[in-house]
Amino acid sequence: MTLIRKPLSRRSILRAGAAGGALLATPTIFTSRAWSQGYLNEPTGSTVTLGFNVPQTGPYADEGADELRAYELAVEHLNGEGDGGMMSTFSSKALKGNGILGKKVEYVTGDTQTKSDAARASAKSMIEKDGAIMITGGSSSGVAVAVQALCQEAGVIFMAGLTHSNDTTGKDRRANGFRHFFNSYMSGAALAPVLKNAYGDDRKAYHLTADYNWGYTTEQAVRESTEAMGWETVETVKTPLAATDFSAYITPVLQSDADVLVLNHYGGNMVNSLTNAVQFGLRDRVVNGRDFAIVVPLYSRLMAKGAGENVKGIFGSTNWHWSLQDEGSKAFVRSFGQKYGFPPSQAAHTCYVQALLYADACERAGTFNPCGVVEALEGFEFDGLGNGKTLYRAEDHQCFKDVLVVKGKENPSSEFDLLEIVEVTPVEQVTYAPDHPQFAGGALGTCNSGA
Amino acid sequence: MLGLNKKDSSLFLLVLLLVIFAPFLLNPFPENSELAQFNAGYPDLMQRFLIFGIFAIGFNILFGLTGYLSFGHAAFLGVGSYAGVWMMKLLTMNVLPAIIISVIFAGLFSLLVGYISLRRSGIYFSILTLAFAQMSFSLAYSVLTPITAGETGLQLALDDPRILGVSQVDGTIPLAHFFGLNMRESYELAMGGWLFTFNAGYYLCAVIMMIAFYVAIRIFRSPFGMMLRAVKSNQQRMNFTGLNSRPYTLAAFVISGMYAGLAGGLMVAMDPLAGAERMQWTASGEVVLMTILGGAGTLIGPVLGAGFIKYLENIFSKINDNILYEWFSALPTAVADVLVFVIHPFIGKGWHLTLGIMFMLIVIFLPGGIMEGFQRIGKMFSRKKKTATGPSGAAPAPAE
C-alpha cells in the first residue's frame, strides 16, 4: 500500500487558512448587538445620526433642495454653530446648542424620488445601514404615508416634511409619525371665510382636481367648507397627474355657468393649469354679472414663481411665509438668508421646525427612545417657531396653528416677493375633532421602539 | 446534479455560494472606516438584489430566449404586489399565501396581456405591452383607488380582518412572518471592526431565488427553450415549417410574467406595501436595462445587471458633498473644492448620470453586457495559460 503524498497546493493552503480563520473568529462570533440595546439604533458613541429623506430628483426636486438646506441649517444650530436661528425664539429652552443630549448631530441624506418605493428603500438603508434614529423630510403625501408606516414598523420616529393630504394624520396616522405642516381640511376651513368676503356667498364653483389622493382630500375639504357657507359646486373633474396641457379641461368651464374655478393642483400641475386658465381669458370673464375668480387651495412660493404673472390676485393658503413679522420667522429668515442668500420656502420652514421639535423632545424626554419622544411630543404646546402658539395634538399627532391665507401680489418687488398675506386665520377656526369624517378610519396604535 | 450538466451545476453552485455568503461579500469594509459608505450588506439592499434578480431572470426567459422585448413587465410585478398585500390584509401575515397568490394573479394577468400583445411582434409588441403597463399604472394610481389606495400605496392597517391571523397585537400591526419566522429578524455578527447582518427575509428570498434560478436553467436547456430560441432566430421560417409558434411565445410570456409576480410578492413579503410607481414605465425600462447591462440571453447576466443597478441606486445616491469633503479632508481646501466640483454631478441625485454613462460604455464596448466582459477576461487568462510553462491551476472558466 502506498500513500500518495500530494504536494502542497494553493487550494489546500486556502482551505487550511479559511478553517483557521473561522477558528480564530469563534470567540468573538456570538456578540450580537441586538441584545445590548433597549431600542433600535440607540446612539452609543458621541454622535447621533438623523436621516434626511428628501426628493432630490423628480417633480418636487426644488422643494427637496430647499428642505435639505433647512436641515443643514438646523443641524448647524443644534450643534451650536451659526447664530442659533429659531432656537433663541423657541418657547422651550431645553436645547443648549451642544447637539442633542450632548451628542453631536450627524446626518445622512437620501433621495425619495417622490416614489413610495424609492423613499422606503432610502429610509430603510438609513435605518439598517447608517443607524439613523429619526427619519424626516419628503414633499408628497404618498411618500410621507409610506415612510411613516415604515418607521412605525421598524421602530424609529418619523417627522413628516411637506405633506398636505388629510390622510397623513387621518386614516394613515401612526404613533411614530408627526406632522407639523397643515392639511387639506385646514386649507378649506381657512379659505372659506376669506372667499365669502371677497366673492360673496352664492357662487358656483367648478373644481379641477389632480387625480390622486392629495387631490381628493383637498377637493373634499374645499367643497365641504365652501358649500357650508352657501356656494354651489357645479362640477368636479379629475385631471391626470401627468397632464401638462389643461386646455381640454378649461374649455368645459367656459361652457358651464360656474363663476369660480378651484384648482386642486400642486407643483407643476398648478403652474400649467393656472397658466392655461389665464390664457383662456377666465380672469377677464364675467358670469352672471360677476367677475370670474380662480382659487388655488395650496400655494407655495416655488409654484408662484413658476406661474409668474398669472398668480396676481389669486387666493390660496400656505403654512408659512417668509414675510411674517414675528420674532421666530425673522430669526429664521435671517439665518437662512445669511447662509444661502435668499429667503426660505414653506417646505424649508416646516422641515427646520420639525428637526428642532424632535431635538427638543429628546432633550425633554432625556432619551432618544422613540416611545419617550412620542410622549414628549404628544400634547406639547410651544411658541416662537413662526406660526404663533402651536399644539401637537396627542390624538392624531397633527400640529394645530394659525393658517395663512395669501394672495398673489399685484406689484412684486423681487422674485421672492410674490405672495402677500391676506389673513391669518386663527387656530380655533381650523381645529376639528380627531374623528372628523374627513379623517376617520385611522388609528395611531402604540409606539414602537424597535426593541 | 439535479439533472444539470457539469457546467450548469458548477454555475448553480457558484451562485448558491455567492448568495449564502453575500452578507460577508457585500460588507468588505469595516464598520467605522470611510469606505463603509460602499458597503451594501444591509438586509434591505441584499433582499432587493435577489428580488430584482428574480425579476430579471424571468424577463430574460422572454427577452433573452424569444427576443420579444416586453416594455411592460413592471405591470406584472405591480399586480403581484397588490395581490400579495391584499392577501396579508385579508388572510394572514404568513408570507407564503401572499407569494403564491402574487404568482397566480400575475400569471393570469400576463395571460391576458400576452394573448393580446403576442398577435404582433417587434416594435408593435413592445408598444402594446408598454400601453398595457401604463394603463395599469394609471388605473392603480387613480381609478382603482379603492383597491390600490392610489398615490399613497396599499398598506396594512390596524383594522384589517386577517381571517387566519390577528388584526393587531397591542396596537401594532403584526409583522410579516414565514411560519413564525419574523421577516425582519436579523442576526448580527461582529468580527473585529466588521459587522455582518444575517436577515431571515434575505435567506427566504435566497431560497426562492435559487429555485427560480434552477427552473430558469432547466427551461434554458429544455426542448421548450430550444423552441423559444428558434423563435428568436427566425420565427417566419418556423411558421413556414408548419409550427405554430404562438403557444410557445405565450407560454414564455406567462412564465416570465409569473416570475415578475413572484418578485412582486417577495417585495411585499419583505416590506408590506404596494405602490403604483412599481408599474410605471420607468420600472419596466429598468428591468430591460438590467437584462441588457448584465447580458441578455445568459443565465446569470440579468442577476448581475440587477445587482449593478440597485447598487448604484442605493449607494451612489446617498453620497453627498459633505461625505466628499470628508474623503478629501487631507487635501488643501482649493484642491478639495475642485475635486468635489468635478465629482458632484455624478453622485447623490446624479446617480442616474453615472448609470447612464456606465450603460453607454457597456453597450458600446461590451455589447454582450457584463457577462461578455467576464468572458473576455476569461479568454485573456486562457491564452496566458497556453504560453505559460510548467503546471498551473485551472483558470476559472466563465460559466456562461
Q: Which of A54-68, B222-236, B313-327 has the highest mean pLDDT?
A: B222-236
Position A27 in a domain: no
Q: Which of A34, A108, A241 sits opposite B141 (nearest CB)?
A: A241
Q: Tell if the CB–CB gap between B172 and A31 is shorter than 8 Å.
A: no
Position A440 in a domain: no
φ/ψ (deg, to 5) at A314: -95, 130
Element (H, E) at B240: helix B223-240
Q: For residue A56, what pLDDT is reported?
A: 87
Position A430 in a domain: no
Q: For residue B400, what pLDDT is reported?
A: 47
Q: For residue B263, what pLDDT is reported?
A: 97
In the block, which residue shows the cell 403652474? A271
pLDDT over 80 at B244, yes or no = yes
pLDDT over 80 at A3, yes or no = no
Please check whether residues A92 and A136 belong to one and the same domain. Answer: yes
Please check whether residues A52 and A177 belong to one and the same domain. Answer: yes
Q: Strands A286-287, A290-291: parallel, antiparallel or unpaired by DSSP?
A: antiparallel
Using the Cβ of B124 and the Cβ atoms of chain A, whether some distance falls under 8 Å is answered with no
Q: Tell if the CB–CB gap between B175 and A153 is shorter than 8 Å.
A: yes
Mean pLDDT, residues A275-300 taken together: 90
| Residue B94 grid cell | 404568513
Q: Tell if the CB–CB gap between A28 and B195 is shorter than 8 Å.
A: no
Please check whether residues A194 and A280 belong to one and the same domain. Answer: yes
pTM (2 d.p.)? 0.86
Asked whether A57 and B349 are in contact (CB, 8 A), the reply is yes
Domain boundaries, chain B: 6-307
Position A437 in a domain: no
Mean pLDDT, residues B190-216 taken together: 92
Q: Which of A28, A142, A153 sits opposite B151 (nearest CB)?
A: A142
Q: Which of A141, A238, A241 sits opposite B152 (nearest CB)?
A: A141
Q: Tell if the CB–CB gap between A32 and B188 is shorter than 8 Å.
A: yes
Q: Which residues contact B342 (CB under 8 A, 6 or more apart)?
A: none
Please check whether residues A203 and A306 belong to one and the same domain. Answer: yes
For residue A296, what are the domain limits? 185-318
**Mind listing the pLDDT tens digit for each residue in A192-250?**
999 999 999 899 999 999 988 899 999 999 999 999 999 999 999 999 877 889 999 99
The average confidence (pLDDT) of chain B is 89
Cα–Cα distance for residue pair A117/B155, rounded to 1 Å: 12
pLDDT over 70 at A369, yes or no = yes
| B142 against B76, higher pLDDT | B76
| Best of B26, B42, B93, B152 to mutate (most A CBs within 10 Å, chain A) | B152
- In this prediction, residue A309 has a pLDDT band, given cuts at 50, 70 and 90, of confident
Q: For residue B399, what pLDDT is reported?
A: 47
Please check whether residues A193 and A177 belong to one and the same domain. Answer: no
Q: What is the DSSP letter of B140?
A: I
**Contacts of residue A156 in chain B, CB cutoff 8 Å?**
none
Q: What is the chain A residue with the closest CA to B393?
A: A10
Q: Tell if the CB–CB gap between B320 and A167 is shorter than 8 Å.
A: no
Name the percent of chain B lying above pLDDT 90: 57
Position A40 in a domain: no
Q: What are the distances in angstroms from CA A252 to CA A261, A280, A293?
A: 11, 11, 16
Q: For residue A191, what pLDDT is reported?
A: 94
- Cβ density class A174-190: b for 16+ within 10 Å, e for less: bbbbbbbbbbbbbbbbb
Please check whether residues A170 and A210 belong to one and the same domain. Answer: no
Q: Tell if the CB–CB gap between A109 and B271 is shorter than 8 Å.
A: no
Mean pLDDT, residues A28-32 taken together: 37
Cα–Cα distance for residue pair A66/B284, rounded to 1 Å: 31
- In this prediction, residue B384 has a pLDDT band, given cuts at 50, 70 and 90, of low
Q: Which of A121, A146, A448 sits opposite B152 (nearest CB)?
A: A146
Q: What are the distances in angstroms from CA A272 to CA A245, A267, A269, A317, A393?
A: 7, 9, 5, 19, 36
**Mind listing the pLDDT tens digit for each residue in A113-133?**
888 888 998 999 999 989 999
Q: Among B300, B43, B11, which residue's Cα sits nearest to residue B186?
A: B43
Cα–Cα distance for residue pair A108/A103, rounded to 1 Å: 16
Asked whether A173 and A438 are in contact (CB, 8 A), the reply is no
Q: State the smallest CA–CA distance between residue B370 and chain A in angstroms.
A: 25
pLDDT over 60 at B54, yes or no = yes
Position A377 in a domain: yes
Q: Which of B275, B318, B348 sits opposite A125 (nearest CB)?
A: B318
pLDDT over 50 at B346, yes or no = yes
Q: Which of A318, A342, A373 is the last residue of a domain?
A: A318
**Contacts of residue B189 in chain A, CB cutoff 8 Å?**
29, 31-32
Q: State the smallest CA–CA distance between residue B311 and chain A in angstroms.
A: 12
Least confident among A278-287, A355-364, B169-178:
B169-178
Mean pLDDT, residues B328-332 taken together: 84
Using the Cβ of B356 and the Cβ atoms of chain A, whether some distance falls under 8 Å is answered with no
CATH code where residue A143 lies: 3.40.50.2300
Q: State the smallest CA–CA distance between residue A157 and chain B in angstroms.
A: 15
Q: Tell if the CB–CB gap between A238 and B173 is shorter than 8 Å.
A: no
In the block, which residue shows the cell 445587482? B307
Mean pLDDT, residues B372-388 taken together: 78
Q: Tell if the CB–CB gap between A146 and B273 is shorter than 8 Å.
A: yes
pLDDT over 50 at B93, yes or no = yes
Structurally, chain A folds into a number of domains equal to 2
Position A378 in a domain: yes
Q: For residue B202, what pLDDT is reported?
A: 95
Using the Cβ of B314 and the Cβ atoms of chain A, whether some distance falls under 8 Å is answered with yes
Q: Among B382, B369, B222, B224, which residue's Cα sits nearest to residue B300?
A: B369
**Contacts of residue B159 in chain A, CB cutoff 8 Å?**
441, 443
Q: Which of A357, A384, A401 is the last residue of a domain?
A: A401
Please check whether residues A297 and A375 belong to one and the same domain. Answer: no
Helix and strand numbers, DSSP H then E, in chain A: 13, 17
Using the Cβ of B30 and the Cβ atoms of chain A, whether some distance falls under 8 Å is answered with no
Judged on CB neighbours under 10 Å (0-12, 13-18, 19+), B39 is buried
Question: CA triplet B61, B66, B70: central angle to 5 degrees?
Answer: 75
Q: State the smallest CA–CA distance between residue B44 and chain A in angstroms.
A: 7
pLDDT over 90 at B167, yes or no = no
Please check whether residues A328 and A302 belong to one and the same domain. Answer: no
Q: For residue A31, what pLDDT is reported?
A: 35
Would you tell me which CATH number, out of the four given (2.40.160, 1.25.40, 3.40.50, 1.10.3470), belongs to the domain B6-307?
1.10.3470
The B residues from 59 to 98 touching A (CB cutoff 8 Å) are none
Q: Which of B153, B313, B348 sits opposite A142 (nearest CB)?
A: B153
Q: What is the chain A residue with the closest CA to B174?
A: A153
Q: Among B80, B99, B272, which residue's Cα sits nearest to residue B175?
A: B272
Q: State the smallest CA–CA distance between residue B175 and chain A in angstroms.
A: 8
What is the distance in angstroms between the CA of the first residue and the CA of the last residue of chain B?
17
Please check whether residues A87 and A139 belong to one and the same domain. Answer: yes
Least confident among A336-345, A405-414, B27-36:
B27-36
Q: Tell if the CB–CB gap between B151 and A150 is shorter than 8 Å.
A: no
Q: Tell if the CB–CB gap between A145 and B192 is shorter than 8 Å.
A: no
**Mind listing the pLDDT tens digit for each residue in A138-193?**
988 889 999 999 999 899 999 999 999 999 999 889 999 999 999 999 999 999 99
Using the Cβ of B185 and the Cβ atoms of chain A, whether some distance falls under 8 Å is answered with no
pLDDT over 50 at A260, yes or no = yes
Position A110 in a domain: yes
Q: Which of A263, A284, A318 is the last residue of a domain?
A: A318
Q: State the smallest CA–CA distance between residue A142 and chain B in angstroms.
A: 4
Please check whether residues A218 and A285 belong to one and the same domain. Answer: yes
Using the Cβ of B21 and the Cβ atoms of chain A, whether some distance falls under 8 Å is answered with no
pLDDT over 80 at A36, yes or no = no
Q: Tell if the CB–CB gap between A116 and B171 is shorter than 8 Å.
A: no
Q: For residue B397, what pLDDT is reported?
A: 45
Q: For residue A217, what pLDDT is reported?
A: 92
